[in-house]
Structure 1
Amino acid sequence: TLGLIRDELAAVEREKNVRLLSTLNREIAAIVRDNPAPFIYERIGNRYRNLFIDEFQDTSITQWHNLIQLFEHLVSLDEMGMVVGDGKQAIYRWRNGNYEQLEALPGLIGNPGPALVDAAQALRRAHLPATLKFNRRSGSAIVDWNNRWFGSVQRHLPESLQGVYDDVQQTATAKHKGNVHLACLVQEEGVGKQDQRNAWVVERILAHTGGTLVDEGGTKRYVPPADASAHFALSDIVVLLRRNKDGAALAQHLMDCGITPWTSESLHLGRHPVTLAVVALLRSVLDPDNPAHALAFAQNYCSIDRTASEAELLRSHRTVTTYLGSDGKERKRSAMDARALFQAVAPDLRPWELVTAPLTLLVGHCFEALGWSNRFPAYTEGMLELVHEVVTQRRGTLKDFLSHWDRRGHKRSIRVSGAQDAVQIMTPHKAKGLDFKVVIAPIHPEKIDRFKDEIPVRLDAARFGLPAALLRDSDLKDTVMDHERQAEIDRTVLDALNVAYVAATRAVDRLDIGLEFDKPPSADMAIQTLPQLLWKGWQEAFPERVNGATVLDNFGANDRKARAADDQAVGVDHVQRLALGQPYGQRIARPKLHWAALASEGKWTPIEHGNAVHGLLGELEQARDWPSLKERMERANLWTPDQRASVSALIDSILNGPDTRKFFEAHATEVFAERTVHFGNGELGRPDRVVHLDGVWHVVDFKTGEQRDKHKSQVAGYCEVINAMHPDEAVKGWLIYTEPLLLVHVPVLFGAS
């Protein structure tokens, strides 16, 4: 089968005259294998006089063989080529990365041809190895911990792999110590591993930030400490998780706790019970007599509300009627009262009454009536964005949306993002090469006493009838090929340990390690999982710190790395805030270009000038925020002095203007800047500023150009949306023209004008 797939792929490549990167590597290898200094390398060598390869431990054998002759060519010109790698950070074996060739340098592994062997001889003569011993990232206590911890774990590695960790000892250059916190997370009865892990992560986040969680009517909200200077910010923290699905689950848990996550990993609309329940509800609107939709809704609803009983919910809304069959016998027919079921869980839920309303209103009503718009804002956003796309690209009927959902919509990914007030979530693979003030690293109990999937194994064709085969762990165990199995297990152990090493060496000030276990660890346990291996290493590396509980350790000091003034500049951060906990009509965030992304090349266009002003005003909640923001703008030095001066003067005039300064006063109870609102026709808008002041909602839009009639109708539309969201309060509309400064009142036909 694999051979047929390969042949078909080759045929497609020939037909399209394209090559996959893997195919290109093989074709280059076929040329350079037996031909010294080919023409292509001579041409490249004439353009580039030095060559540097980073992360060499993750380079494949084929890739290195393809580059050797280029290195030889540079050496012959008395130029320099350099490779840098660390076998302890080899975590891409699944992409054919091979750390063994780093260990073998300047020799070659694999099956090089004569030309490559000759090139390797030239490299051997020019070989100048060097080991980097200094750690310029982490606090001295964190470096000491990792030195002792992984040095101890090294002794438990197979003898053939221990050499990878021979150079694990590093010398710290940092003046601060930092702190390491280790916890053993033993699975509790009745608590899922994922739930326990997520709860521990939140506990550590609160410990580092000094924040608290407040329950407000069933919705949790994160409250930062009164004095944040003694604590870390949410944006200082990264959580490193081995698996993407664990990261998605943690992101949702953090959002449930009122903590904004920042993750590049996708949360999938079609995998969460909230969106699946809403889709089932919408299907029932079109097909009310099909009980499958009510069943799907009940299943997903009960997976969200653990207090609800799926069986009881279905049983209490099931009706049974009798009828006479064609044979004259009495029979029974069961049916599901779907509407009664829906209203039993959400009395205000009436989607069938909104079938002719705009689709965004229908879907938004479902989330709002079920109480999910506040609890699951990211999925609400994602669903409404998908609805908006269907509305704008197609006819926008409910049938069209469900058809799109079945084809592609369920695969839609949403990304939860933040910047200055968000906890980062990523895998150790994406964190490699980076550093973070606080690292929280739960270690998943993955098995290391066996390997998963299948591996290619060469066989004796005369004996087995095949030259090679893809075999599983169980296929090789206790057979004449068991040595192949053991070699793969050894590589599996190294893969897992290297991922843990990468995670443990990212921290600057704080390192939290959570070792996950199915049952309490003990000194005589067999090592079957990565946490068990690391626990053994901890016990042996720190015998003086082992106590009776053996579940907790703190090492180092609670100090921090000193920050120079230049390190505090954040003007180049491109902030994208996710609006959490607001009514569903305010939730699709498509910010204008951030002010720090504007270039200063030449004279600004009117649009660029307007973006600069809007971007800065959008970050101001109160007038007292302006000095720090202005300092960031000046320190970033992204614009010319004249540009900075003109924008600063304009904003100063708005903040100090007798008519306009009230919109930036400190006693405003709520302030929203650049939040998306949904009009009844499915269109979107973004009022520049919405302020709740003295019981009145003020909708403010800034204009840097000339006055136009359409500006008033735009603000009036915003006011109408705000009035619909807060029908019992007064709403006023305003336009602020900046040059010259002028406040214009926009009359509205409802509330207070």
Structure 2
Amino acid sequence: MLFIYRASAGSGKTFLLTRFYIELLFKRELTPSLEAGRDLSFSEILAVTFTNKATAEMKERIVRELKKLWENPQASDYYKCLKKPDSKGIVMSDEEIQNRAHGILKGMLTDYSNVHISTIDKFFQQVVRSFAHELNQQSDYAVELDTDSVLDHAVTQFLLNLDNANDRETFDWLLRFSNKRLQDGAKWDVHDSLFTLAKVLTTEDYRIYSESIAKFTADKKAMADYAEMLNQIVQQWTSDLRRIGKSCTRILSDCDLTVDDFSYKATSFASNFAFWTAGKEKNSRLTDAADDPTKWFPKKDQHKLAQMGSRVAEMQGLLQEAINLLDGERNTEYVSAKLLQANIYQLGLLEKLEKAADKYCAEQGIKLLNNTTQMLNALVSGQSSPFVYEKTGTRIASYMIDEFQDTSGMQWQNFAPLLSDSLGNGNRNLIVGDVKQSIYRFRGSNWELLHSHINNFERQKQQKKDDDGNDLQLLDNWRSDRKIIEFNNAFFKYLSETLCAMGGDNPEYEKIREVYADVAQKIAVEREAKGVQTGRVAFEILSDDEDEASDKTKKTDYNALVAKRLPEIVVALQQQGRRPKDIIVLCRTNSECGICAAALMDYAAKHPDSPYPMAIITEEALQLGRHPVVRALVAALEFLHDPKSDHRAAVAAICWRSLSSASMSDAIAGHFAAPSMPDFTSLLNLPLYETVERLIAMLPDSARDQSNFIQAFCDVVLDFCTSDAPSLDRFLTWWHEKGFKCSVTTPTEQDAISIMTIHKSKGLAGDAVIVPFADILLDIDLQKPPTIWCRPNAEPFCRENLAIPIKANLKMQKSIFADDFAAERVRNIIDSLNNVYVAFTRARHELILLAPTPPADSKGTSMKLEKFLNNFFNGDAWTGGNDAASLVIDERMLADRQASDTTDIAATANDSHFICPEVHLPVIKQTTYVAPSDSAAARGTTLHAAFSAIIDRDHVDEPITRMFESGKAQLQGFTLDEVLQHIHNALSCDEARTWFDPQNRTLNEQDIITQSTHTQRPDRIVLTPDGRTIVIDYKTGEERNTRYRKQVGHYVKLLREMGFPQVEGHIWYVESGEIVPVTA
């Protein structure tokens, strides 16, 4: 039996997968192929999913539930499933469940390698390696995941081996390729252009056609004849157009007429003639002119028509001929020939590049992961599925395929025979997916497999209901609050129907409606019984106050608006009870993620006393290559590799110095003021790993605190050292190609805001989800056009098995490839729509959408998401309101709330690079945070930060100037000179001057850890030469709050308990000069 489930977002898919797996293990009758009396083993079930993370989570959940069923069956969510009577009415006892669970769990833990829960690629790798071993072929190859590196080497070798004399055709193809790129205004760099083309080699479409392409390009004469045929069609069409243009121009000359004599002048039909004469397409007002000559001239100039006499009929005949060339069958043929002519030579280049890539892989003993599927497909083609079993040594009874919408065509072809064999034995198999969540088509996934193709697979074995008589569509939502569910139901119904209607009569567009036919969800009954929160959906258009009337916001301007608004929303959410870890920011691209990360880090830098943490987790921020400590270590290694290079020496010295400097700019300035270099010479002849260990020992103390990044770098170096000949030269080459992308793993309990792309968010959920760039294009992006593999099936272009890769463009709509373009356009619309669906369905309690002002769309053709959102919230399809007004900062809470903790790992800004996670104890800021819009409060915040930067009274100007230049403080309506004046005025007080005496030992904003592990942070602690301990707290403004005295008194008490002598406390109102002594 085959169960095909369609599982919408948040509908309990993980529960379904685990239940299906556990029931197979516990219920013998579900596997008829078993020998009598034998239970199904976990090693006889294969469950495949899309990512390693999903695989690990599924394994963990199964083991966790088996443990519950063993220890306390009734505590498991799957207890009720196992207590259902079998076909004979027999019910398993609790003791039987416990014994069976214990046996399964014990077997799994002692033979974990035979728990077949893996990614589909890993399964195929195992099969291919088994075949390689049986066939006495190389089976110890390394799987190469970095296809870009392989393609880069292949392109380089192709260019180096290019011989103009012996391979003239290839050289001509390359010249054509380069000329076409120049004509299109693309980059002229040949290597980069070929590298972009070579990426086609990794696609499944190319692998499908690669054999026929090789045959086509192998016949040089046939290929040359085909190219000549295309050339003749283009030349004949161009020649005819020029002839018509010249004839029409001659008629005007003979009749003493010019373009300005005709109606509409420069845009009249006569304006086309000059273009036609030059062989260029132009079709301005042509049809009307051919149909009705009376429209040629203005009413007052109708005598000119009579003046033309018999030439009018001649002109009409030429115009009709032009219409056929520009709009008729001749134009279709011409445009098709032009498209083929511009791309056919790419086939030859692709075939050459593939050979170069194969040669490189063979030399390196590697195989691209992308090629495994094709290898297996060729291997099992025409073979029965037992043949696969025999060679792998594994017998699978039941299959479970998760995320089926992300499966590719070849992957399914490889799996289908295995499922057929299992179904033939009467066993149970499971397929789960959701077309609406198919967002990986760029990796080869084919959502049409689940949408339609699967319906024709083993139709008689497919089940319509589950064992309880329920439909195989999971429509209960277990994730989101009521309003979010209702919003998504209404919005995606409205959006899919609107997009479908925009396709007119084109049947391809009906697929949009079909894919989203099951979008409506309801709250699960069990959730409803326990009570479901209302939730919040907010949509906000961001625009400058000065430009409210504008119908278009430039992208750069909108980025600035997001950078301003996003931190405000995060603060508002935290005020309303959300922790940073509850918040997810979803973007379409990595660059948008970078804008959001920079905005939050910039806000944190400008508001150091904010009680609302802006700690973030981003994939980019956690890359080893971006961390200053790792960059310093690599710079030192590069110097050791080339110790005579002044450049390497300077870079290493500056990177090393930056680890103990306030900023990179300080490090650079310090280096050029007083050049210095750590003594690395003793490390010149050491092995690589030992060199790294010695360098780490030489790091400044502050840098060695970055233990997680240092340890991760050591692990990377150690892994590299297990390879062949781990020399320093090879390591540095590998590091700059691949290694720098390695990242540290963050703990799951990390209390930080997650910023990620929509693709990375698949399978995740957040209490509050923010989509700051809800301006997604719901259409094919012609600025970054996809490649469409087209088969020229119309005469005279068709050739057996020929397929041509064409970059999508609007000209295809007038060619024999119009249907290909329409199909690809619909696929792109569904891709974009699915991205929006995945983003909007991640939210549990709050969904917040930000977008620019929708563009003017008088023709109703805009395909931008913000237009549809705006129309939806302002139309009749949605009655749930807009909660955007609730996302405001409560100014009172800014002053009252104190942060309870901060994260263990936080990304902050430091010049042009990230300072990634620091491991430190939690910090609680004790200073009152004030709204930056309040100028007096902002001045106080700035003065407070300035005093924290001052060590003694002899060095005041330099640290404050540096603080402002580095962006660590704001100038809120006054100049740097004014701030310095405030500081010097405050230090004119005699008592205050003693606190800044150079003879004192000063501790600025140092943490005090209490016995309860809480942290306190006084503004300034002064240890005087005469043995006194003075604790000072800065205050600004007029308020004299008793809370301040209590706070400083607590500091005094803590310092006395720690053993500090003669402790005294003072509150210093720096603007008025008043000093208030405090005793504990």
Query: TM-score scaled by structure 1?
Result: 0.54
Partner of 1:510: 846
- Give, in whole Å, the separation in 2 of the partners of 1:16 and 1:190: 45
**Corresponding residue to 1:120 among 451, 454, 458:** 458
SS at match of 2:373: helix
Partner of 1:739: none
**1:235 and 1:421 in contact (8 A); partners too:** yes
Partner of 1:471: 806
- Give, in whole Å, the separation in 2 of the partners of 1:509 and 1:494: 26
1:181 deviates by 0.9
Distance change >3 Å, CA 43–CA 359, structure 1 → 2:
closer
Which residue identity is paired with 1:203?
A: E
Partner of 1:264: 619
SS at match of 2:829: helix
**1:56 and 1:84 in contact (8 A); partners too:** yes
Alignment of 1:16-165 (within 5 A): 19-41=367-389, 47-104=395-452, 106-108=454-456, 120=458, 123-124=461-462, 130-157=472-499, 158-165=509-516
Alignment of 1:284-683 (within 5 A): 350-353=673-676, 408=735, 412-413=740-741, 417=746, 419-451=749-781, 452-460=785-793, 463-464=796-797, 467-474=802-809, 476-517=812-853, 519-520=854-855, 525-540=860-875, 542=877, 553-554=883-884, 577-578=904-905, 664=1011, 669-670=1016-1017
Which residue identity is paired with 2:567?
A: V
Which residue identity is paired with 2:442?
A: W
Which residue identity is paired with 2:832?
A: A
- Give, in whole Å, the separation in 2 of the partners of 1:496 and 1:445: 11
SS at match of 2:433: coil
- Give, in whole Å, the separation in 1 of the partners of 2:574 and 2:362: 58
- Give, in whole Å, the separation in 2 of the partners of 1:6 and 1:127: 47
1:194 deviates by 2.7
Distance change >3 Å, CA 249–CA 105, structure 1 → 2:
same
Deviations 1:486-543 (A, max 9, x none): 22111111101101101111111111122345x5566864223233344444444546
**2:538 and 2:847 in contact (8 A); partners too:** yes
Deviations 1:648-669 (A, max 9, x none): xxxxxxxxxxxxx986267863
- Give, in whole Å, the separation in 2 of the partners of 1:231 and 1:578: 21
**Corresponding residue to 2:588 among 212, 237, 242:** 242
SS at match of 1:84: strand
- Give, in whole Å, the separation in 1 of the partners of 2:514 and 2:366: 42
- Give, in whole Å, the separation in 1 of the partners of 2:491 and 2:374: 41
**1:440 and 1:513 in contact (8 A); partners too:** yes
- Give, in whole Å, the separation in 1 of the partners of 2:461 and 2:416: 8
Distance change >3 Å, CA 94–CA 235, structure 1 → 2:
same
SS at match of 1:101: helix
Q: Which has the higher helix share?
A: 2
Overall identity of the aligned pairs, in %? 24
**1:139 and 1:508 in contact (8 A); partners too:** yes
What is the root-mean-square deviation of aligned Cα atoms in Å? 5.7
Distance change >3 Å, CA 540–CA 31, structure 1 → 2:
farther
Which residue identity is paired with 1:193?
A: Y
SS at match of 1:169: coil
Deviations 1:607-632 (A, max 9, x none): xxxxxxxxxxx97889xxxxxxxxxx
Which residue identity is paired with 2:1011?
A: F
- Decide which structure has the larger Cα Rg and report it: 2
- Give, in whole Å, the separation in 2 of the partners of 1:14 and 1:406: 20
Partner of 2:533: 176
Distance change >3 Å, CA 28–CA 106, structure 1 → 2:
same
Distance change >3 Å, CA 86–CA 667, structure 1 → 2:
closer
- Give, in whole Å, the separation in 1 of the partners of 2:439 and 2:567: 27
SS at match of 2:863: coil
Q: Which has the higher strand share?
A: 1
SS at match of 1:412: helix
**1:32 and 1:38 in contact (8 A); partners too:** no
Distance change >3 Å, CA 539–CA 32, structure 1 → 2:
farther
Distance change >3 Å, CA 409–CA 101, structure 1 → 2:
closer
Deviations 1:94-124 (A, max 9, x none): 111111111225435xxxxxxxxxx735545
**1:134 and 1:171 in contact (8 A); partners too:** yes
1:426 deviates by 1.8
Deviations 1:18-55 (A, max 9, x none): 65444332233335443343322478897433221111
- Give, in whole Å, the separation in 2 of the partners of 1:81 and 1:389: 41
Distance change >3 Å, CA 69–CA 662, structure 1 → 2:
closer
SS at match of 1:352: coil
**2:788 and 2:806 in contact (8 A); partners too:** yes
1:288 deviates by 9.2
**1:262 and 1:416 in contact (8 A); partners too:** no
Distance change >3 Å, CA 528–CA 67, structure 1 → 2:
same
Partner of 1:749: none
Distance change >3 Å, CA 121–CA 149, structure 1 → 2:
closer
**1:351 and 1:362 in contact (8 A); partners too:** no
1:473 deviates by 2.5
- Give, in whole Å, the separation in 1 of the partners of 2:618 and 2:820: 39
